[in-house]
C-alpha cells in the first residue's frame, strides 16, 4: 500500500504528455469548453484536439467509496464527431432524457511504463 501511495504521489507531477495525454486531474464545469486530450476512437472523430461543450456529468464511487465523475456528455462543435458513439448510446440518452446531440465520454485509465525508478 505504501508503494502505491508513493506511485500516486509521483503521478501528480506528471505532465499529460508523459501520461499518454491523460491529465492527473481535470476540473469539470457544465457549459465549459473542453477538448479530448487522448485518442478515444479516431474513426469516430474522438481524438486528441476534438472540442466541445460539457453538458452533463454522471457520478459513481471509486475504490475508496468517494464520489467521482464516471462519465460525461459533450456536445461537439462538429456534428460528425462522435456520431457513431451517439448511435450506440441513443437508447441510454432517451432513457436519461439527455439531448441526442451529446456524446458519451467515459472515464479513462491507462497503464504506463514507469521505468526503473519504480
Confidence of residue 93 (pLDDT cuts 50, 70, 90): very high
Q: How far is CA 78 from the centre of its chain?
A: 18
CA-CA distances (angstroms) from residue 37 to 7, 15, 19, 72? 22, 12, 11, 14
**Alpha helices (H) along 1-118:** 2-11, 83-95
**Is 113 among the domain residues?**
no
b/e per residue 75-101 (b: at least 16 CB within 10 A): bbeeeebbeebbeebeeebeeeebeeb
pLDDT of residue 114: 59
pLDDT of residue 26: 78
**Is 5 among the domain residues?**
no
Confidence of residue 1 (pLDDT cuts 50, 70, 90): low
**Is 11 among the domain residues?**
no
Q: What is the mean pLDDT of residues 100-111?
A: 85
pLDDT of residue 112: 63
Confidence of residue 118 (pLDDT cuts 50, 70, 90): very low
**Is 90 among the domain residues?**
yes
**Is 51 among the domain residues?**
yes
Measured CA to CA, the distance from residue 17 to residue 15 in angstroms comes to 5
**Is 10 among the domain residues?**
no
Q: Which three cell numbers stand for residue 55?
A: 453538458
Measured CA to CA, the distance from residue 82 to residue 39 in angstroms comes to 12
Q: Could you give the number of structural domains in the chain?
A: 1
Give the residue numbers spanning the domain of 45: 28-106
Measured CA to CA, the distance from residue 81 to residue 72 in angstroms comes to 15
Amino acid at each position: 500500500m505504501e508503494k502505491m501511495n508513493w506511485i500516486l504521489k509521483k503521478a501528480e507531477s506528471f505532465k499529460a504528455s508523459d501520461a499518454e495525454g491523460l491529465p492527473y486531474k481535470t476540473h469539470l464545469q457544465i457549459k465549459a469548453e473542453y477538448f479530448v486530450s487522448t485518442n478515444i476512437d479516431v474513426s469516430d472523430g474522438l481524438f486528441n484536439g476534438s472540442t466541445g461543450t460539457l453538458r452533463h456529468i454522471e457520478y459513481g464511487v471509486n475504490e475508496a467509496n468517494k464520489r467521482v465523475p464516471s462519465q460525461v456528455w459533450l456536445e461537439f462543435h462538429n456534428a460528425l464527431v462522435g456520431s457513431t458513439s451517439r448511435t450506440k448510446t441513443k437508447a441510454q440518452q432517451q432513457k436519461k432524457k439527455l439531448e441526442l446531440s451529446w456524446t458519451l465520454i467515459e472515464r479513462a485509465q491507462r497503464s504506463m511504463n514507469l521505468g526503473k525508478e519504480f
